[in-house]
Amino acid sequence: MAPHHTAPLSQVPSDLADRTDPADPAALSAPRAPAGPSPAVERFVEVSVRLTGFDAFDLHATGLAALYRATALDQVGPEAFERFLAELAAVGGDPGRLEGETSRDIARALAHLWYLGVWPQLARSVHTALGREKANVPFTVSPEAYTEGLVWRTFHGHPAGAKAPGFGTWSEPPPGAPPVPRPAAPGRPVAGPGKEREEETAGDAV
Amino acid sequence: MSTSPRAGGQPTGGHRTGTPHLRRYDVIVVGAGLSGTLVAKRLGDQGWRVLVLEAGTRTLDTWPGHLDAMNTYYAASAKVPNSPYRANTAAPSPDVLDLVGLPGGGFRANGYLVQNGALPYGSDYLRANGGTVMHWLGLTPRMHPEDFAVRRTFGYGRDWPIGYADLEGHYRAAERELGVAGDAQEQSEAIGLPFPEGYVYPMHRIPRSYIDDVVAAKLDGVPVRESPDAAETTLRVVTTPHARNSVPDARYDGGRGYRPVGAAGLPNYGERCVGNASCVPICPVQAKYNPLKTQATWDSRVTLVTKAVVSRVLADGNGRALGVEYQAYDDPAAPVHTTHTAEADIVVLAAHAIENARLLLVSRLAGHSGQVGRNLMDHPVLLTWGLMRHPVGPFRGPASTSGVESFRTGPARRRRAPFRIEIANWGWSWPASSPGSDVARLLGITGDSGQPRGRGVFGEELRRALGEGIGRQFSLQFELEQEAESRNRVTVDPRHRDRLGNPRPVITYDLSDRLKRGLAAAKAVSDRIFGLLEAEDHTAYGPGPFSPGYFRFEGQDLSFNGAGHGAGTHVMGDSRDSSVVDHWQRCWDHPNLYAVGCGSMPSIGTSNPSLTMAALALRSSEQIHRELTGLHRPVTVRTGGGTGAGDLSPHVPGPAPSPAPARGPSPHSHPHQEVRP
Ligand SMILES: Cc1cc2nc3c(=O)[nH]c(=O)nc-3n(C[C@H](O)[C@H](O)[C@H](O)COP(=O)(O)OP(=O)(O)OC[C@H]3O[C@@H](n4cnc5c(N)ncnc54)[C@H](O)[C@@H]3O)c2cc1C
Ligand code: SF4
């Protein structure tokens, strides 16, 4: 069942690409572009695939790629962002091989953003090196960013408080887990003193 | 004023909201949390004119207000219990983030509560319409009969002037009101709780989690010793009763069954728990009980006034309460207030254990015994955590569906505090803020941004490591009984005031040695359980910002958290010299002033306390009804029904000519169902 509170999700524009001023909140709620994602967002998603280990389809499906790109641009500035992209390209797109601490911290921040919906605190040295004028504090980019966090999917879960899987689903073994014997079926009324108690019967607890 | 329709589409029920419309009421209830809501419900249904003064806002009782709280929660960086609820400077609430552990041990308290004890009182509460239960977990175990007489039986703490048998019928009434899902037969067999023959809970038990089944497969029937010289205790995994919507039991109430109560403000929604796994701090579908559901059935004689902070109880020279003084404000962000008074025959404080004590102290009332504010209790919680050998599906379902109840009772209580073990369904979310901390750790992000960061792993390696680690997370929550100690207390100090000028609570809190021995025993039991589960134990206690409850005891590092179960501050007893309220929760010194809530409890056993508190509130409502009836004689006596469990006095409607309720049948048309499940 789709919980009602996720309704605003559908209103999040999936393409906020190539804005002139990513810090402008009005830009973040710009109307949906008619066509698919812009080349800049496509490129951002390609990089994000290498950062997160999720494929482009999954990342686009969150509806948040453009917002995340805009957030990163806003947080570190276009120059550092472009440098990050260039350095990443220079090491074959493998973020594990990034050597510059600034680019490496941007990689950490982006992966953190995708996994949790939270832009993290940057390393203090990087914050200083970038000459950032904003506070170096973590923040959740939007309510939907939390519910679209990738971390829940790494263990076949759902975000706490959203995308509820349904009554009793928590009783089932998760993927990769062995079945275990179920205890007795519940629901016998309380027996009076000295009364024979019914035998426990095996069955589903649901 | 009349019934106002809710923005969410459903009327609020029959009660009035807005400003008081009468000069004088039969009853004033201070606080619209669980206990106040229940008292207002009962007395309104019996025809009394009830004024409920609530310090907080009522944004939560419309569906748009609820959705706003959901979004606030999603966007919060720390998903602590108060995270969905907007801060209110007129009626501030404590927050668990107020406490910071210091590098060498010890703590600092930054928030609403002033703390000067050796150890921190680590619990919050919520001052908004509905109260703290808005963010409770919703576990509703009964107390064990032996919990009521710990001094007589085991030589510690304080005894109740009444016992389990006196409360049994009210437990059933509370289980109906809150809508409890459970397995009474299992509770009876495994814990030894007495129920009337044939009793079933309103709903079938909440299904056990897969984690519960995994644990049960290894633990059930295994004897363990908590120390080499201790007696053996047999482990058994037992499902926990919940105030959470499950499958109704058709046999309930003599075959009449039970209809689950859905969300307040959205019809036909939330009648079944769907496993959102966020009961604390907010249930998205409101399958978990909250007092707004009861408020939706309040009678038209109940008037709810929110944004009304009661600042003082007014009494005359003979000790009779006359009413209350309260401060009304408009804007919770920049409060400017006006002061008002309201009068009634009976005043009921239901503002939470700590706030009730604060109000009595500020009003200089009920002071004869010297016990107001003393005996503050909570359930200190020991967390242990580790990794299971295979995925167990954490972060699914309610936070805990089963526990191990074997350490709650018995002679070991003479030496150390007893405990309940909750099997956690939400991985390391409480002990380690998972899964956020797991992501940060693997990325090399340290808590202190000044520290050098690890290289971090990315891509498929990151994804795989997270999945393998988080999927196996397991933790246990040991809830220990804290005994009443007069040194643990709430006081007030005119130097510490909130924005409206009301003195803030000053808390002095510590754990006794018997409690620390209990924590050590709990840790030993945890070690045995992890061994049986062949789990990799990751439990570690040390000082630091996130461990304000860290301490050392007999050479061992330990750390505890608060459970949110504040109690004892207006303790009940059998003498006016040694207790604040009598067994009706009526102040000994003031016959028409009641203080209801966990504050009345002389001992709290190992059960989450609110079901017991609700039973007490329902019981007190009967006595208040009798007293009001006495005050307003002569009245027409209607026969044919008790006012509650075991009470055979005739039902007497209140004297107030009251308008017909705006919706549905009168509550009088279905009175007292709770006594015949
Ligand atoms: C995280 C958490 C989880 C919990 N889980 C459980 C659980 O699973 N099971 C369980 O049994 N218990 C649980 N509890 C405990 C439970 O929430 C409390 O026992 C219960 O809320 C107490 O009810 P109350 O009516 O006394 O106070 P509250 O619920 O706190 O309500 C008090 C009301 O009074 C109002 N008020 C305060 N001051 C004033 C004033 N001066 N004037 C007017 N109004 C005022 C407040 O705004 C509030 O609405 C939990 C608590 C926490 C914090
Ligand atoms: S598990 Fe989800 S649906 Fe069920 S009570 Fe908790 S939050 Fe509500």
Q: Which of A153, A169, A171, A188 should one mutate to test binding to chain B, selecting the residue with the greatest count of B CBs within 10 A?
A: A171
CA distances from B46 to B12, B417, B628, B647 (A): 19, 42, 11, 15
Q: B188-239, pLDDT tens digit by residue? A: 999 999 999 999 999 999 999 999 999 999 999 999 999 999 999 999 999 9
Q: Which residue has the higher pLDDT, B530 or A23?
A: B530
The pLDDT-based confidence of B653 (bands split at 50, 70, 90) is very low
Residue A31 confidence (pLDDT): 52
Contacts with A, B 381-410, CB within 8 Å: 390-398, 401
In which element (H, E) is residue B616 found? helix B610-631
In terms of CA atoms, which chain B residue is nearest residue A98? B455
The pLDDT-based confidence of B151 (bands split at 50, 70, 90) is very high
Residue A195 confidence (pLDDT): 42
Min Cα separation B50/chain A (Å): 34
Q: Does the beta carbon of B447 lie under 8 angstroms from any beta carbon of chain A? A: no
Q: How many CB atoms lie within 10 A of CB B86?
A: 16
Chain A residues touching B470 at Cβ < 8 A: 151, 154-155, 157
Greatest CA separation found in chain B? 82
How far is the C-alpha of A181 from the C-alpha of A12, rounded, in Å? 44
Ligand 2 neighbour B282 (Cβ under 6 A): no
Mean pLDDT (chain A) is 81
Range with lowest mean pLDDT among A20-34, A101-115, A155-169, B521-535: A20-34
Residue B634 confidence (pLDDT): 52
Radius of gyration of chain B (CA): 24
Tally the residues of chain B: 677
CA distances from B157 to B38, B420, B514, B571 (A): 28, 18, 11, 12
Residue nearest to atom 6 of ligand 2 (CA): B279
Please enumerate in sequence order all residues whose Cβ is within 8 A of that of B448, keeping only pairs 6 or more positions apart, or say none. Answer: none
The pick from B285, B290, B293 for probing ligand 2's pocket by mutation, whose C-beta has the most ligand atoms within 8 angstroms, reads: B285
Closest CA to B197 of A193, A187, A200: A193
Radius of gyration of chain A (CA): 23
How far is the C-alpha of B204 from the C-alpha of B257, rounded, in Å? 11
Ligand 1 neighbour B610 (Cβ under 6 A): yes
Chain A residues touching B251 at Cβ < 8 A: 189
Ligand closest to the CA atom of residue B136: 1
Does B640 have pLDDT greater than 50? no
**What DSSP assignment string belongs to chain A?**
---GGGGGGGGS-S--TT-S-TT-HHHHTPPPPSSS--HHHHHHHHHHHHHHS--HHHHHHTT-HHHHHHHHHHHHHHHHHHHHHHHHHHTTT-GGG--SHHHHHHHHHHHHHHHHSEEPPPPHHHHHHTT--S----EES-HHHHHT-THHHHTT---TTSS---TTGGGSPPTT-------B---PPPPPTTPPPPPP-B----
Tell me which DSSP letter residue B257 carries: -
Q: CB B390 to CB A164 under 8 A?
A: no
Q: What residues are paired with B94 via a beta bridge?
A: none
Ligand 2 midpoint to CA B64 (Å):
19
- According to CATH, what is the number of the domain B1-98+123-193+284-377+566-677? 3.50.50.60
Chain A residues touching B534 at Cβ < 8 A: none
The tokens describing B496, both together, are 């510490």
Range with lowest mean pLDDT among B18-22, B176-180, B654-658: B654-658
The pick from B38, B60, B133 for probing ligand 1's pocket by mutation, whose C-beta has the most ligand atoms within 8 angstroms, reads: B133
Does A16 have pLDDT greater than 80? no
Ligand 2 neighbour B274 (Cβ under 6 A): yes
Residue A127 confidence (pLDDT): 97
Handedness of CA B214, B217, B223, B228 (dihedral sign): negative
Tell me which DSSP letter residue B251 carries: T
The tokens describing A74, both together, are 């806003």
* Burial letters B596-635, b for 16+ CB under 10 A, else e: bbbbbbbbbbbbbbbbbbbbbbbbbbbbbbebbbeeeeee
Please enumerate in sequence order all residues whose Cβ is within 8 A of that of B194, keeping only pairs 6 or more positions apart, or say none. Answer: B145, B164, B165, B168, B188
Residue A190 confidence (pLDDT): 81
The pLDDT-based confidence of A184 (bands split at 50, 70, 90) is low
How far is the C-alpha of B260 from the C-alpha of B263, rounded, in Å? 10
In terms of CA atoms, which chain A residue is nearest residue B443? A108
Residue A183 confidence (pLDDT): 66
Q: B330-364, pLDDT tens digit by residue? A: 999 988 999 999 999 999 999 999 999 999 999 99
Residue B9 confidence (pLDDT): 34
Calculate what percentage of chain B has a pLDDT beyond 90: 87
The pick from B180, B565, B621 for probing ligand 1's pocket by mutation, whose C-beta has the most ligand atoms within 8 angstroms, reads: B565
Residue B669 confidence (pLDDT): 30
Residue B77 confidence (pLDDT): 87
Contact (CB, 8 A) for B204 and B247:
yes
Residue A18 confidence (pLDDT): 39
Domain residue extents for chain B: 1-98+123-193+284-377+566-677
Q: Which residue has the higher pLDDT, A183 or B261?
A: B261
Does A198 have pLDDT greater than 90? no
Does B493 have pLDDT greater than 70? yes
**Mean predicted confidence (pLDDT) in B460-485:** 98
Does B666 have pLDDT greater than 80? no
Q: Is B605 left (phi over 0), alpha (psi -120 to 50) or beta?
A: left
Question: ipTM surpassing 0.95, yes or no?
Answer: no
**Residue in B75, B199, B390 closest to A146 by CB:** B75
Does A153 have pLDDT greater than 70? yes
How far is the C-alpha of A75 from the C-alpha of B450, rounded, in Å? 19
B563 Cα distance to chain centroid:
9
Residue type, A102: T
Residue B639 confidence (pLDDT): 43
Does B3 have pLDDT greater than 60? no
Residue B308 confidence (pLDDT): 98
Range with lowest mean pLDDT among A21-30, B108-117, B497-506: A21-30
**Mean predicted confidence (pLDDT) in B110-121:** 98
Residue B13 confidence (pLDDT): 66
Q: What is the three-state SS of B67-125?
A: HHHHHHHHHCCCCCCCCCCCCCCCCCCCCHHHEEECCCCCEEECCCCEECCCCCCCCCC
Ligand 2 midpoint to CA B515 (Å):
32
Contact (CB, 8 A) for B346 and B117:
no
**Residue in B249, B273, B396 closest to A187 by CB:** B249
Q: CB B75 to CB A188 under 8 A?
A: no
Residue B61 confidence (pLDDT): 87
Tell me which DSSP letter residue B399 carries: S
Q: B279-311, pLDDT tens digit by residue? A: 999 999 999 999 999 999 999 999 999 999 999
Ligand 1 neighbour B597 (Cβ under 6 A): yes
Please enumerate in sequence order all residues whose Cβ is within 8 A of that of A107, keeping only pairs 6 or more positions apart, or say none. Answer: A51, A84, A88, A95, A98, B456, B458
Residue B665 confidence (pLDDT): 32
Q: B541-573, pLDDT tens digit by residue? A: 999 999 999 999 999 999 999 999 999 999 999
Please enumerate in sequence order all residues whose Cβ is within 8 A of that of B55, keeping only pairs 6 or more positions apart, or say none. Answer: B31, B90, B91, B127, B307, B308, B309, B310, B351
**Mean predicted confidence (pLDDT) in A104-113:** 98
